Amino acid sequence: MSLEKNQVDAIAQLAGLSVDATESEQLTEKLSNVLGIFQQMQAIDTDGIEPMAHPLDQVQRLREDRVTETNHREAYQSIAPAAENGLYLVPQVID
Amino acid sequence: MTWEVVIGLEIHAQLTTKTKIFSGSPIAYGAEPNTQANLLDLGMPGQLPVLNKAVIPKAIKFGLAIGAEIGRRSIFDRKNYFYPDLPKGYQTSQFSFPIVDKGGVVEIEVDGDTKKIGVTRAHLEEDAGKSLHDAFPGQTGIDLNRAGTPLLEIVSEPDMRSAKEAVAYAKKVHELVQYLGICDGNMQEGSFRVDSNVSIHKPGTPFGTRAELKNINSFKFIEQAIEIEIDRQIEILESGGKVVQETRLYDADKNETRSMREKEEANDYRYFPCPDLLPVVVTQADIDAIQAEMPELPDAKRARFVAEFELSDYDATLLASSRAMADYFEAVVALTKQPKISANWVMGELSKSLNQHDLTISESPVTAAQLAGLINRIQDNTISGKMAKQVFDAMWSGEGDADTVIAEKGLKQITDVGAIEAMIDQVLADNAKQVEAYRNGQEKMFGFFVGQVMKASKGQANPAQVNQLLKQKLQ
């Protein structure tokens, strides 16, 4: 199975990644190779095998519902590209 | 052939916890922006989620209440999409193995008919942050306080056939989550959000393309929005057009739905199991323990109120509409042993005052014990119904319990037969003409005598006794 360049562009768009034409070509080839591996795996008969959610055979550890985190807004916002009135600022999302 | 409407709802109920689903950050409503967002909530690399213990029994309670299968091994997945209020680039949710699995049913009643609405599933997930689009020109402000708030997303089958049914179902779920104590149900603050998937088709043909109505924060508007959307779709299809699958927003001011103008490419969430979280295992013993602490559910409570207290269906439904109201009513009845009059006071004077002051019953300045004290003084004839309203108002303003108010205002009813007779005799003697008229057949004069006696007693004579004694005297 091979990917088309426009599929790679669509994936980049979904992930919010900026990919130029050259990169897009290279990625198309690389990702197609990865998909080839998946295709080999698809050929394996998995009927009756329970899907594995995690390679560790363990169950989720739980946390008490207790506040353990304190406010460090200033420290976090000091490394943000833009912040004002306590809000992180990003380029306008909708028009 | 007419169009058939098909509606399915996705309800997001915010679970009542102190902290987020995967971090120890608080989730108090209305805090300063980004003061409740730690490194995990900000999506910083290297942070690992740890599941909040409190969310699991809450989700299971809901599952048990609707008779659904409980997922014994539920798994968290990543739902990938790109949006700035979701800094990780994915929402941690449950996809293939939700905690509340199939089999759930919610029974609704519309115009006297009952109907069962299927619940496909309910899964745990985290909320996203908030985007503020208007505050800064050309930029969007991001507040991540809400990011990571625990949600139970309740997905119905497309079983509803009208806006009314959809609202009846949403209200039933709203009542249920509050009864179970798993969600505060506050729609204004976004703790209970309803998204409606609406489509139309001709019966016997495949379902039509659906539009999703989002971000509607009242039941009234949900009903209006669905009605308007149905009309819009009928108009499109009947003029030969096609309904586009999209998210639409409801504008209550204009009473119209509007496309959210999403980008061209369809969302592809590329779900996969979250490698940072392990399966959540629920044992039969866990389920049994939760079952043991399930509260009485609204339908059972209504039925019991009718059977035990001989209330009408209407009264029982009203009183059982919230757990706080039902508990208050039962506390009053326990002290008065008078279900009917207690119901009348809770639904009447008390509810009226609560509405006027925009208070919930848990905020009532008159406690259940105080209201019961008042009702007991009516029952033992200490005060009349009219005086009782005065006493109630005084209790509402914090002037103490019924006995204190009665003593301070000198509101005691006159029930002494001799005293009432003396007043009647005086009134009859002073109004000989009217007595004669009455005896000559002018029966409406009776009301005049009652009024005069009540006036003479300064409103304190027991009206029932006045009536009875007057009748005897005038025979």
Which of A13, A65, A89 lies nearest to residue B139, judging by beta carbons? A89
The stretch B150-179 carries a mean pLDDT of 97
Residue A41 region by backbone torsions, left for phi larger than 0, else alpha for psi between -120 and 50, else beta? alpha
Residues B229 and B172 in one domain: yes
B264 pLDDT higher than 60: no
Q: Which DSSP category does B256 fall into?
A: E
User: In B88-191, which ranges are E strands?
Assistant: 90-94, 104-110, 113-126, 130-136, 139-143, 150-156
pLDDT of residue B454: 87
- Rounded CA-CA distance B233/B472 in Å is 73
A/B interface, count of CB pairs below 8 Å:
134
Residues B392 and B446 in one domain: no
Which option is the CATH number for A1-45: 3.40.50.300, 1.10.10.10, 2.30.30.100, 1.10.20.60?
1.10.20.60
Residues B235 and B347 in one domain: no
Residue B387, domain member (yes or no): yes
Residues B373 and B450 in one domain: no
pLDDT of residue B194: 96
Contacts of A58 in chain B (CB under 8 A): 278
For residue range B313-336, what is the model confidence (pLDDT) as tens digits?
A: 999 999 998 889 999 999 999 999
B76-80: strand order across its sheet: B90-94, B76-80, B272-273
Which of B18, B133, B140 lies nearest to residue A66, judging by beta carbons? B18
Residues B156 and B21 in one domain: yes
Residue B334, domain member (yes or no): yes
**Best to test chain A binding among B94, B126, B139 (most A CBs inside 10 Å):** B139
Shortest CA gap A11–chain B (Å) = 9
Residues B348 and B267 in one domain: no
pLDDT of residue B473: 86
Residues B73 and B98 in one domain: yes
Q: How many CB atoms lie within 10 A of CB B294?
A: 13
Band the pLDDT of B350: cuts 50, 70, 90.
Answer: very high
The stretch B6-29 carries a mean pLDDT of 97
For residue range B104-146, what is the model confidence (pLDDT) as tens digits?
A: 999 999 998 999 999 999 999 999 999 998 888 889 999 999 9
B391 pLDDT higher than 70: yes
CB contact (8 A) between residue A54 and residue B50: no
Last residue of a domain, one of B268, B286, B304: B286
For residue range B44-84, what is the model confidence (pLDDT) as tens digits?
A: 999 999 999 999 999 999 999 999 999 999 999 999 988 89
> Could you report the predicted ipTM of this complex, rounded to two decimals?
0.86
B443 pLDDT higher than 90: no
Q: Which of A79, A15, A54 lies closest to B274 in space, CA to CA?
A: A54
Whether residue B95 lies within 8 A of chain A, CB to CB, comes out as no
Band the pLDDT of B458: cuts 50, 70, 90.
Answer: confident
Q: Say if residues B50 and B22 touch (Cβ distance below 8 Å).
A: yes
The stretch B303-315 carries a mean pLDDT of 95
Tokens of B291: 């079952």
Residues B274 and B301 in one domain: no
pLDDT of residue B457: 84
Residue B291, domain member (yes or no): no
Residue B102, domain member (yes or no): yes
Query: Which CATH number do you get for residue B462?
Result: 1.10.10.410
Residues B391 and B260 in one domain: no
Residues B455 and B349 in one domain: no
Chain B residues 385-444 within an 8 A CB cutoff of chain A: none
The stretch B240-267 carries a mean pLDDT of 81
Residue B114, domain member (yes or no): yes
Cβ-based interface (< 8 Å): residues of A facing B: 10, 13-16, 51, 53-54, 56, 58-69, 71-73, 76-77, 82, 84-94
Number of folded domains that form chain B: 3
Residue B223, domain member (yes or no): yes
- Rounded CA-CA distance B332/B206 in Å is 54
Supply the range of the domain harboring residue B218.
Answer: 4-286
Q: Say if residues A76 and B67 touch (Cβ distance below 8 Å).
A: no
Residues B225 and B361 in one domain: no
Which of A66, A72, A92 lies nearest to residue B19, judging by beta carbons? A66
Q: How far is CA B192 from CA B8, B174, B176, B187, in A?
A: 16, 7, 12, 5
Burial (0-12, 13-18, 19+ Cβ within 10 Å), B141? buried
Residues B394 and B465 in one domain: no
β-strand pairing of B73-74 with B211-216: unpaired
Last residue of a domain, one of B286, B307, B322: B286
Q: Say if residues B83 and A93 touch (Cβ distance below 8 Å).
A: yes
